[in-house]
Structure 1
Amino acid sequence: MSGRVVVIGVGNPLRGDDGIGPAAVEALRGRVPADTVLAVSDGEPGRLLDLWRGADTVVVVEALRTRPARPGALHTLTLAEAVGHHRGTASTHGFGLGDCLALAEALDLLPPRLVVHAVEVADVELGTRLSEAVRSALPALTDRAAASVRRAHARNHAP
């Protein structure tokens, strides 16, 4: 095991609430151990697989569209939950995280540990502003991601 911890903020900051993943990664700077890899991705599966290659723990932070929508509602999902949860919901990206996880599983490229922190979104239209509900959820979302990173580092450095 490498002990490598990677946080990936998935989304596009130019599409309103879809920018929550990248915003959370920015908010994590200085709040997690220096050897934590902080990255942003547009959600394209090949790039995601490349970003988490060799990682022991991957924390994904992203936007989630649900029906009915509850903008600002937070979700924390394990790998198994993420695959099942995303089948019933729509990603804000063309190729959803559930699809990417299925591909990674087929290619034997899943990380040993993966957790997804997601916030339900309202608006993913062109624009650079997060909606009030999603912006208000950012501190709690960032806290959840930071706690996942701390737990991963504690596991990696346990005797």
Structure 2
Amino acid sequence: MVESLVESEATSTLVIGIGNRQRKDDAAGLAVVDQLRDEALDGVELVEHSGEAASLMDLWQGREVLVIDATSSGQPAGTIRRVDLLEEQLADEVLATCSSHAFGLAQAVELGRALGELPPRLVLYGIEGADFSHGEGLSGAVEEAVEEVVGEVASEVGSGASEAP
């Protein structure tokens, strides 16, 4: 699933929310994009995505990209991690292991790195999930983290900064 929520040829920044609404906390990235729709973010395209690697690589070509996804690293639920993926490798086990994107973001980043095809800016906001079982709805800690990430992403893309606010 790739759903463009804002269409603009002048778009310079792409914000991708990755997840599956039917896997509870795996929908954290999608929830961030949902809330960002209400922000007035000029030059920003918001996209919902399943996390499939080849499609991600096509989508981010030549753009500055921020990705929001659920993580499963053993940290407390709701923990937020901002990673500059141009500087740091992302271990496969950090992303939600129960998600629907088995060959997904981590593999896309490393393949893009190997091929020299990463975007000029690639940042991940990871939100640590607690419950990836079937069903809808985020856990309380993840809902709170979503609110915080919405503010951070809005500030980051609004300022055009390449570092976190």
Judge same fold: TM > 0.5, yes or no.
yes
> Could you tell me the TM-score, scaled by structure 1's length?
0.84
Aligned pairs (5 A) from 1:128-147: 128-147=136-155
Moved more, 127-136 or 91-100: 91-100
Q: 2:70 aligns with which of 55, 63, 68?
A: 63
1:89 to 76, 90, 94: 94
Q: What percentage of residue pairs aligned between the two structures are identical?
A: 35
Which residue does 2:113 correspond to in 1? 105
Aligned length: 150
Greater helix fraction, Structure 1 or Structure 2: 1
Give the TM-score of the pair, scaled to structure 2: 0.81
Equivalent residue for 2:32? 24
Q: Return structure 1 stretches of 4+ with deviation > 3 angstroms.
A: 90-93
Mark the runs of 5 or more structure 1 residues left unpaired by the alignment: none
Separation of aligned partners in 2, 1:129 and 1:82: 31
8 Å contact from structure 1 (residues 86, 97) kept in 2: no
CA distance in 2, matches of 1:115, 1:151: 15
Query: Could you say what the CA RMSD is over the residues aligned between the two structures, in angstroms?
Result: 2.0
Unaligned runs of 5+ in 2: 1-9
Per-residue CA shift, 1:93-149, capped at 9, x if unaligned? 312422210111123220001111111001111111111111121110111111221
1:32 Cα deviation (Å)?
4.0
Instruction: Give 1:115-130 correspondences, 5 Å limit.
Output: 115-130=123-138
- 1:131 and 1:25, CA in 2 relative to 1: closer, same or farther beyond 3 A? same
